[in-house]
Structure 1
C-alpha cells in the first residue's frame, strides 16, 4: 500500500538540464561552497529572487504583480491565468487553448470572463486538454457539440453531476454556436 501511495503522489520537484560553460559552472560551485548550500539551492534562490522582482505591467505603466498572481497548485488554473493576460505574451498554442476554453467556458468556469474557475472540473479535464483541443479542431466544423459531450462524460464518470457544467440561465450548449454563424446558409 505504501508503494501505491508513493506512485499516486504528485512529484514535488522536477529535473532541469542546463548547459554551463566551465567558468559559469565554477562560479556556481564557488557560490554554493561559500554559502554551504547545494548547487540546486543556489539556483532556486537566484531564480526566486529574480522572479520576485520581475513584474507584469499593463502596457508598461501600472504594475499588476509578479509571478505570484499567476501561481496556483492546479496546472489548469495557472495556464488559464497566464493565457488570459495578454501582457504575459501568450503563444499561439495558449491562444488556441484559451479560445477552446472560452467556447466551452461553462465546463471550466462559473462565468464567461473566466474569473471564477471550476477547480473540480479542471482536475478532471486538464490532463486531457491537448486531446480535447485536437478533437475540437477536427470536429468543430461538423459537430460543434461533440467535445461538450466528451467533457460531460468525463465529468460524470468522475462522479460530478450536471451542476458542475450547467451554465446558469442559459441552454447548456446554445453558446457553442455563434449567432452570427447561425444565419449563414451553408
Structure 2
C-alpha cells in the first residue's frame, strides 16, 4: 500500500515573505480581502501586482518615448535563471542594480571567457559587452563560482578566462605542403 499524498498539488511555486503590518493596516487589509472574497495572502499578492503598474522604471524623455512601468517591464526582466535575470536587468536598467549585483556584473563584463569576440594582432582576446555576444551557457555553468568570487568567498583566479592565442611556431624541419 502506498502512502497517500497530503494536500493538493500546486500549480506554481510561490515564495513566502514575512511582512510586518501595524494593527490598523492589518485590520484594513483583512476587510479589503473579505470585500473581494480573497484570503489576506491573495489580497496582498493582488495589491502588489496592481502597485507595480505605478512604479515607473523609465520616464519617456520625448513625446515619442513612453513611460515604462515595472508591470510592463517584468516580462522582459524575468527569467527562471538568476544569471539571466541579472544580465537582463544590467542591460536594460543598469541604474537598478544593487551594489552586489554591480560587482557581479563587472566580473562578467571584464572576463572575455563569457563573450564572443576575436583575437587582435597581438593574440589577445578582445570582446564587446553586448548581450547578443554573451555566451549564455558559459555564464550559467559558472554562475555559482561567479557569485562566490563576487562575495569574496573564492579567489578571482579560479574563474575561467579567455586564452591568449599563441602564434604558431615555425620549424624549418617541418614539411611545407604544396
Helix, strand or coil at the partner of 2:131: coil
Superposed CA deviations along residues 90-127 of structure 1, whole A, max 9, x for unmatched, are: 222111111101122543x5573123654444443223
Give me the whole-angstrom Cα distance separating, in 2, the residues matched to 1:26 and 1:116: 52
Which residue number in structure 1 is paired with residue 132 of structure 2? 115
Change (3 A) 1:55 1:69: farther
For this pair of structures, how many residues does the alignment match? 138
Question: Structure 1 residue 125 and structure 2 residue 142: aligned?
Answer: yes
More off after superposition, 59-68 vs 37-46 = 59-68
Change (3 A) 1:134 1:113: same
Deviation at 1:49, TM superposition (A): 1.6
Structure 1 stretches of 5 or more lacking a match?
1-10, 150-171, 176-186
TM-score (norm: length of structure 2)? 0.61
Deviation at 1:86, TM superposition (A): 4.5
Which residue number in structure 2 is paired with residue 44 of structure 1? 45
Deviation at 1:58, TM superposition (A): 6.1
> In the alignment, is the contact (CA less than 8 A) between 2:33 and 2:43 conserved in 1?
yes
Which residue number in structure 2 is paired with residue 8 of structure 1? none
Which residue number in structure 2 is paired with residue 96 of structure 1? 103
Superposed CA deviations along residues 132-186 of structure 1, whole A, max 9, x for unmatched, are: 33569844xxx5xx4116xxxxxxxxxxxxxxxxxxxxxx3349xxxxxxxxxxx
Which residue number in structure 2 is paired with residue 75 of structure 1? 82
Q: Which structure has the highest helix share of the two?
A: 1
Which residue number in structure 1 is paired with residue 163 of structure 2? 173
TM-score (norm: length of structure 1)? 0.59
- The structure having more radius of gyration, on CA atoms, is 2
Change (3 A) 1:135 1:87: closer
> In the alignment, is the contact (CA less than 8 A) between 2:145 and 2:159 conserved in 1?
no
Give me the whole-angstrom Cα distance separating, in 1, the residues matched to 2:40 and 2:55: 23
Question: In structure 2, which of residues 159, 162, 165 is the aligned counterpart of residue 147 of structure 1?
Answer: 159
Give me the whole-angstrom Cα distance separating, in 2, the residues matched to 1:129 and 1:99: 10
Change (3 A) 1:94 1:119: same
